[in-house]
């Protein structure tokens, strides 16, 4: 009997002691952790404030982003530690590891890369009229890329959906197929007439729409068009008729929704040379942003509107092999080569030339050589050259991930474009700001922007 009483007393004392001891804090569940976004829908050039709340003070977490596009999946992640209040604010907190590091509110977006087992490739929107559906999720602890669940709405402490779009509400996409011309016209919301933009990409063999749709979201009527290896258009650059580019410009200038007295252009790669040709032949082109562009049109010599055009031809013997089946075109043209640079300055248009210093397709020395050919009084007042250390060839609108290399449909080979992820991402933001400021200034843009300005 005494033994039983002693046992009960001991158990009671142990129970009291256990209640007095500090209890281990339970791990937060998905019901206690939450993700707060400053916006759940945004244009691609906007920065989003992402906050995670309901964590333990000092807790280590992994924040991941995931999206699916054109049959491929892309992901990114950052490692964070919660503050004493159990909060991680990506706007001010540094990523301690992952696909990006440091304080970077948009690191989750520009550092996206194909997920494990998926062939690397350029992330580009196939349908710009629909948004990217980006899943933002929080995982406990610091996890690595291969261990994370790369699926929509992944198992996690918390998950939310963010939509990012190239098109503002009200933007109209109008397919064009007239008199041999094939392209897409993007019109802002409203009746216009709007300032016009001719958008000329390189030798891709597709119509790349994201830049035009973004500019239409800022109040411009933008025309982007195919010109090679598309439907019944020429197959190779040597078959191009440069009169086609003038036809595209004239079509835009004559459109009833376009202010023909306010037309500018944006271009890149081989599209740069074709745009300079347009500027030489069409006084109505008031300004142009040329991004990593060639300084001469590429193709075969022929006569356009009664004048002989002597373009540059590909010097394939100068293509430098990289990793076997990939090539760099950086040495394709040298400043010492005798290339005919169109006299784009003769009508007084304004120009910005953008050059990534790690461009592996266009030699940065070429734009410097072009500058030496321009009359001094003109270049002093009408043109600017901006160099970006660490930036590669494919400079997109803000917060797009770097495409360092991919397959070119026209040349039928893998091309190295260059670029280092963080400097390239920063360059994209700055180039976009410069582009909008430049176009607004020179085209007397009076249409209010439909979205906030991009942020670093």
pLDDT at position 217 over 60: yes
- Of 195-199, 330-334, 375-379, the range with the highest mean pLDDT is 195-199
Question: 138-147, 336-345, 348-357, 419-428: which range is least confident on average?
Answer: 336-345
Q: Average pLDDT for residues 128-136, to the nearest whole number? A: 98
User: Which helix (H) or strand (E) segment is 426 a member of?
Assistant: helix 421-442
User: Which helix (H) or strand (E) segment is 253 a member of?
Assistant: helix 243-253
Average pLDDT, the chain: 90
Around Cβ 115, how many Cβ atoms within 10 Å?
Answer: 20
- The pLDDT value recorded for residue 333 is 84
Annotation marks residue 269 as catalytic: yes
Per the residue annotation, which of 45, 104, 199, 359 is the catalytic one?
A: 359
- The pLDDT value recorded for residue 73 is 98
Annotation marks residue 393 as catalytic: yes
Q: Average pLDDT for residues 230-236, to the nearest whole number? A: 96
Per the residue annotation, which of 159, 167, 222, 269 is the catalytic one?
A: 269
Contact between 209 and 184 (Cβ < 8 Å): yes
- The pLDDT value recorded for residue 180 is 95
Q: Average pLDDT for residues 430-447, to the nearest whole number? A: 87
Annotation marks residue 255 as catalytic: no
Per the residue annotation, which of 45, 104, 358, 393 is the catalytic one?
A: 393
351-372 pLDDT tens trace = 999 999 999 999 999 898 899 8
Q: How many CA atoms lie within 13 A of 138 on its CB side?
A: 29
- The DSSP bridge partners found for residue 68 are 73
- The pLDDT value recorded for residue 324 is 80
Q: Average pLDDT for residues 36-65, to the nearest whole number? A: 97
- The pLDDT value recorded for residue 427 is 98
- The pLDDT value recorded for residue 340 is 80
Please state the φ and ψ torsions of residue 438, each to the nearest 5 degrees.
-65, -45
Q: Hey, what domains does the chain have and what are their CATH numbers? A: 34-165 (2.60.40.2240), 172-442 (3.40.50.1820)
pLDDT at position 4 over 90: no
pLDDT at position 19 over 60: no
- The pLDDT value recorded for residue 31 is 61
- The pLDDT value recorded for residue 26 is 35
Does the CA dihedral 7-10-16-21 come out positive or negative?
negative
- The DSSP bridge partners found for residue 136 are 65, 160
- Give residue 336's pLDDT band: very low, low, confident or very high (50, 70, 90): low
- Give residue 171's pLDDT band: very low, low, confident or very high (50, 70, 90): very high
């Amino acid at each position: 009997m005494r033994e039983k009483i002693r046992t009960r007393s001991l158990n009671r004392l142990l129970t009291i002691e256990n209640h007095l001891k500090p209890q281990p804090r339970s791990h937060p569940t998905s019901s206690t952790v939450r993700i707060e976004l400053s916006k759940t829908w945004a244009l691609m050039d906007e920065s989003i404030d992402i906050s995670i709340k309901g964590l333990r003070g000092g807790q280590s977490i992994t924040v991941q982003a995931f999206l699916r596009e054109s049959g491929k999946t892309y992901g990114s992640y950052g490692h964070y530690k919660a503050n004493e209040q159990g909060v991680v604010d990506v706007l001010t907190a540094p990523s301690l590891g992952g696909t990006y590091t440091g304080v970077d509110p948009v690191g989750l977006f520009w550092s996206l890369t194909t997920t494990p087992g998926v062939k690397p490739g350029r992330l580009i929107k196939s349908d710009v009229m629909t948004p990217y559906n980006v899943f933002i999720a929080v995982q406990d602890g610091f996890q690595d890329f291969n261990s994370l669940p790369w699926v929509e709405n992944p198992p996690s402490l918390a998950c939310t959906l963010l939509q990012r779009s190239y098109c503002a509400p009200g933007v109209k996409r109008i397919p064009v197929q007239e008199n041999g011309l094939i392209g897409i016209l993007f019109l802002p919301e409203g009746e216009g007439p709007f300032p016009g933009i001719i958008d000329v990409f390189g030798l891709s063999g597709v119509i790349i729409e994201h830049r035009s749709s973004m500019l239409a979201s800022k109040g411009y009527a933008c025309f982007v068009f195919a010109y090679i290896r598309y439907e019944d258009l020429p197959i190779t650059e040597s078959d191009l008729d440069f009169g086609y580019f003038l036809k595209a410009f004239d079509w835009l200038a004559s459109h009833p929704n376009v202010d023909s007295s306010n037309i500018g252009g944006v271009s890149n790669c081989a599209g740069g040379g074709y745009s300079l040709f347009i500027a030489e032949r069409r006084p109505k082109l008031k300004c142009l942003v040329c991004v990593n562009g060639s300084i001469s049109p590429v193709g075969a010599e022929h006569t356009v509107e009664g004048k002989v055009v002597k373009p540059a031809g590909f010097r394939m013997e100068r293509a430098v092999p990289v990793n076997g089946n990939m090539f760099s075109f950086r040495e394709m043209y040298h400043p010492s080569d005798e290339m005919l640079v169109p006299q784009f300055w003769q009508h007084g248009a304004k120009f910005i030339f953008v050059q990534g210093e790690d461009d592996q397709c266009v030699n940065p020395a070429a734009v410097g050589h072009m500058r030496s050919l321009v009359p001094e009084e003109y270049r002093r007042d009408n043109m600017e050259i901006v160099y970006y250390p660490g930036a590669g060839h494919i400079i997109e609108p803000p917060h797009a991930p770097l495409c360092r290399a991919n397959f070119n449909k026209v040349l039928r080979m893998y091309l190295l474009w260059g670029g280092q992820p963080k400097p390239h991402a920063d360059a994209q933001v700055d180039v976009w700001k410069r582009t909008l400021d430049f176009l607004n200034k020179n085209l007397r843009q009076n249409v209010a922007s439909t979205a906030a300005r991009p942020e670093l």
